[in-house]
A = this chain, B = another copy of it.
């Protein structure tokens, strides 16, 4: 077991390690400076770095060097960042603030924000291909597997499809099943890609891959339930974005469909299920265990 204060230090160290690898992964030479600045602005705007963190935690859990996970971890953060830039656009969620800062299009304009998102998405794939080409511990077949996994989870069947269903759902009465479809894809799929990608890189067994996937499904939903709860009970200053906005927009959420108490109970049981998956894979004494608690207890 990792104590809470030790885990805070763990998180800080990992965030620092991830962040020092983000900027060098961007192309700069030959890139129009406004495009580069816009990409860098959103990539370095903070955040929990949860997806890269999961990649490194899987490698650690399976006794592999974490530096092997860095190119894939960085690519995931690029894809997560592009999705936030595009989601914030006026034609989508039309948000002015993200992590307490003006959203990308508020600073750079809509055209640049669209292109910065496109370029981050493109760079995610080319960075994996380029960075691992010179990495002796990662075979070309593994690189191809990583790209296939990431593309599947980030695309029309995954994250983009989830965002599409979310936008269409805004004008409808959703039931719990439809809400879970949205969250499983919009949020869960990229977390699963992080875990499974980490598994590929760590040469996990098939049973371990299954367990990592189950863990990902659980923390993906848990993450979203906590998001919904924070939109009811959270602190706007801490969150860096408005609270109460879901209720104002009459948006379907776990609290609106299940009530707050039942939502919290579901959150607890999902975290238990996530930890059970770790036990099944024999990796419960790793940072993945406190990371599950962190998803549940986070206040931003």
Residues of A within 8 A of B (CB): 26-27, 29-32, 34-36, 39, 82, 86, 89, 91-92, 109-112, 114-115, 117-119, 121-123, 125-130, 132-133, 139-141, 143-145, 147-148, 150-152, 154-157, 160-161, 163-165, 167-168
Contact = CB atoms under 8 A, between A and B. Distances in A.
Contact of A126 (B35, B127, B148): B148
A151 B167 contact: no
Given A141-B140, A156-B119, A34 B129 contact: no
A157 B27 contact: yes
How many copies make up the complex? 2
Q: Which of A34, A115, A156 has the most CB of B within 10 A?
A: A156
Q: Is the interface of A mostly helix, strand, loop or mixed?
A: helix
B143 A126 contact: no
B111 A92 contact: yes
Contacts of A168: 32, 34
Nearest to A109: B91
A157 B33 CA distance: 11
Contacts of A92: 111, 114
A263 to B, nearest CB: 25
Contacts of A112: 164, 167
A32 B117 contact: no
Contacts of A155: 27, 119, 122-123, 126
Contacts of A122: 121, 151, 154-156, 160
A122 to B, nearest CB: 4
Given A35-B161, A126-B150, 17 more contacts: A36-B156, A39-B156, A86-B114, A92-B111, A92-B114, A114-B114, A117-B118, A119-B160, A122-B155, A123-B155, A126-B147, A126-B148, A128-B147, A129-B145, A132-B144, A133-B144, A140-B143
A154 B115 CA distance: 11
Contact of A157 (B29, B133, B154, B165): B29
B126 A114 contact: no
Contacts of A31: 156-157, 161
B160 A35 contact: yes
A128 to B, nearest CB: 8
B27 A156 contact: yes
Contacts of A165: 32
28 contacts: A26-B156, A31-B156, A32-B165, A34-B164, A34-B168, A35-B160, A35-B161, A35-B164, A36-B156, A86-B114, A89-B91, A91-B109, A91-B110, A91-B114, A92-B114, A115-B167, A121-B121, A122-B154, A122-B155, A123-B155, A123-B156, A125-B151, A126-B150, A126-B155, A129-B148, A129-B151, A132-B144, A133-B144
Contacts of A110: 91
